[in-house]
Amino acid sequence: MSGVPEAASSGRHFGGAASSPAVPSQGREVKRVNPKRAAKLAARAAAKVSSRSTASQEALRLELESRKAEAVDDRRARRREAADHKHEVARRKRIERRRDR
């Protein structure tokens, strides 16, 4: 036993004390929404509905998105190449230090 009375460890009421029945909550039934968040969501929804663009605007938007994705890929590749180069330089230095011993 871990020092806990039998009644408490089995989930029963400790010391014979019974708990009172659940009381229904008197809280607000409708949760208040942050007014700034509500305004932001409303503006976003209005922008989606009213942003009917022409075909040329849609083409420009798609081109911009594809260029952004390409730039992300290029940046990721350059970062990976730089990390590989740094790793290779460190490896060469380690080998060279070992040879000098």
Burial class (CB in 10 A: 0-12, 13-18, 19+), 25: exposed
Predicted confidence at residue 28, as pLDDT, reads 59
Mean pLDDT, all residues of the chain: 82
pLDDT-derived band at 64 (thresholds 50, 70, 90) equals: very high
pLDDT, tens digit, for every residue of 12-61?
556 666 777 777 767 656 778 899 999 999 999 887 765 567 888 888 98
For residues 50, 55, 57 and 59, what is the CA-based torsion angle, rounded to 10 degrees?
A: 130
**Which single residue is written with the structure tokens 């081109």?**
63
